[in-house]
Chain A
Amino acid sequence: MSTGTTSPPAHWSRPPLIKATWARHTLTVLVLLYLVWSLNSLEVDWERVAKGLPRAADIFSRMVPPDFSRWELLSRGIIESLEMAFAATIAGMVIAIPLGLCAASNLVPKPVYLIARSIIVVTRTFHEVIVAIFFVKIFGFGPLAGVLTLIVASISFLGKMLAEDIENMSPGQVEAIKATGASFPKMLIYGVVPQILPRYLGVSIYRLDANIRHSTVVGIVGAGGIGQTLSATFSRYDYDFSLAILLAIIALVFIGEFFSSWARGKLR
Chain B
Amino acid sequence: MTGSDALQARYPEIWRKYTPRQNAIRMLWYMGAVFVAVWSVRHLDIPWFYFLDAHVQAMDLGVRMFPPDWSYIDEVIDPLLETIHIATLGTIVTFFIAFPTAFLAARNTTPNTATWLFGKFILVSTRSVNTVVWALLFVAIFGPGPVAGVWAIAFRSIGFVGKLIAEAIEEIDHGPVEAIEATGASRLQVLLMGVLPQVLPVVYGTIVYRWDINIRESTVLGFVGAGGIGIQLYSSINQFAWSQVSLMLSLILIVVIVSEFVSATIRRWIT
Using C-beta atoms within 8 Å of the partner chain, give the interface range for chain B: 35 or more
Q: Are A230 and B34 in contact (CB under 8 A)?
A: no
In the assembled complex, which residues on chain B have CB atoms less than 8 Å from the CB atom of A1?
Answer: none
Q: Given A137-B237, A221-B223 in contact, is the A254-B128 Cβ separation under 8 Å? A: yes
Q: Are B89 and A39 in contact (CB under 8 A)?
A: yes
Q: Are B136 and A234 in contact (CB under 8 A)?
A: yes
Q: Tell me which of A79-87, A98-106, A107-115, A167-175 binds B.
A: A79-87
In the assembled complex, which residues on chain B have CB atoms less than 8 Å from the CB atom of A159?
Answer: none
Q: Are A144 and B217 in contact (CB under 8 A)?
A: no
Q: Are B129 and A59 in contact (CB under 8 A)?
A: no
CB-CB contacts below 8 Å: A177-219 with B? 194, 213-214, 216-217
Using C-beta atoms within 8 Å of the partner chain, give the interface range for chain A: 35 or more
B256 on the interface (CB 8 Å rule)?
Answer: yes
Shortest distance between the CB of A214 and any CB in chain B (Å):
8
Chain A minimum-CB-distance residue to B136? A234
Shortest distance between the CB of B19 and any CB in chain A (Å):
16
Q: Are A129 and B132 in contact (CB under 8 A)?
A: yes
Q: Are B141 and A56 in contact (CB under 8 A)?
A: yes
In the assembled complex, which residues on chain A have CB atoms less than 8 Å from the CB atom of B256?
Answer: 125
In the assembled complex, which residues on chain B have CB atoms less than 8 Å from the CB atom of A143?
Answer: 44-46
Interface digits, A131-157 against B, CB 8 Å rule (1 contact, 0 not)? 001100111101110010000000000
Chain B minimum-CB-distance residue to A15? B197
Q: Are A127 and B44 in contact (CB under 8 A)?
A: no
Q: Given A121-B257, A127-B219, A194-B17 in contact, is the A90-B37 Cβ separation under 8 Å? A: yes
Q: Tell me which of B2-10, B54-62, B96-104, B106-114 binds A.
A: B54-62
Most chain A CB within 10 A, of B124, B127, B140, B147, is at B140
Q: What does DSSP make chain B's interface, helix, strand, loop or mixed? A: helix
Q: Are B249 and A147 in contact (CB under 8 A)?
A: no
A126 on the interface (CB 8 Å rule)?
Answer: yes
Q: Given A17-B200, A41-B81 in contact, is the A91-B141 Cβ separation under 8 Å? A: no
Chain A minimum-CB-distance residue to B139? A234
B11 on the interface (CB 8 Å rule)?
Answer: no
Q: Given A55-B141, A217-B132 in contact, is the A138-B216 Cβ separation under 8 Å? A: no
Within 8 Å by CB of B143, from A43, A45, A125, A147, lies A45
Shortest distance between the CB of A219 and any CB in chain B (Å):
10
CA distance A15 to B258 in the complex (A): 31
Chain B minimum-CB-distance residue to A140? B50
Q: Are A144 and B44 in contact (CB under 8 A)?
A: yes
Q: What does DSSP make chain A's interface, helix, strand, loop or mixed? A: helix
Q: Are B141 and A38 in contact (CB under 8 A)?
A: no
Chain A minimum-CB-distance residue to B254? A125
Q: Are B129 and A49 in contact (CB under 8 A)?
A: no
A249 on the interface (CB 8 Å rule)?
Answer: yes
Q: Given A138-B58, A246-B129 in contact, is the A83-B43 Cβ separation under 8 Å? A: yes
B23 on the interface (CB 8 Å rule)?
Answer: no
Q: Given A126-B249, A130-B219, A147-B46 in contact, is the A253-B128 Cβ separation under 8 Å? A: yes
Most chain A CB within 10 A, of B45, B132, B137, is at B132
Q: Are A44 and B81 in contact (CB under 8 A)?
A: no
B162 on the interface (CB 8 Å rule)?
Answer: no
CA distance A80 to B44 in the complex (A): 7
In the assembled complex, which residues on chain A have CB atoms less than 8 Å from the CB atom of B40?
Answer: 82-84, 86-87
In the assembled complex, which residues on chain B have CB atoms less than 8 Å from the CB atom of A82?
Answer: 40
Q: Are B146 and A43 in contact (CB under 8 A)?
A: yes
Within 8 Å by CB of A147, from B44, B133, B137, B233, lies B44
B224 on the interface (CB 8 Å rule)?
Answer: yes
Known pairs A49-B147, A86-B40, A147-B41; list 4 more (Cβ under 8 Å): A35-B89, A49-B142, A230-B136, A231-B224
9 pairs of residues in contact across A and B, judged by CB atoms under 8 Å? A17-B200, A51-B143, A52-B142, A59-B141, A133-B223, A139-B54, A216-B130, A217-B130, A227-B133
B residues with CB within 8 A of A: 17, 33-34, 36-37, 39-41, 43-47, 50, 54, 57-58, 61, 78, 81-82, 85-86, 88-89, 92, 124-125, 127-130, 132-133, 136-137, 140-143, 145-147, 150, 193, 197, 200, 204, 216-217, 219-220, 223-224, 227, 233-234, 237, 249, 252-253, 256-257
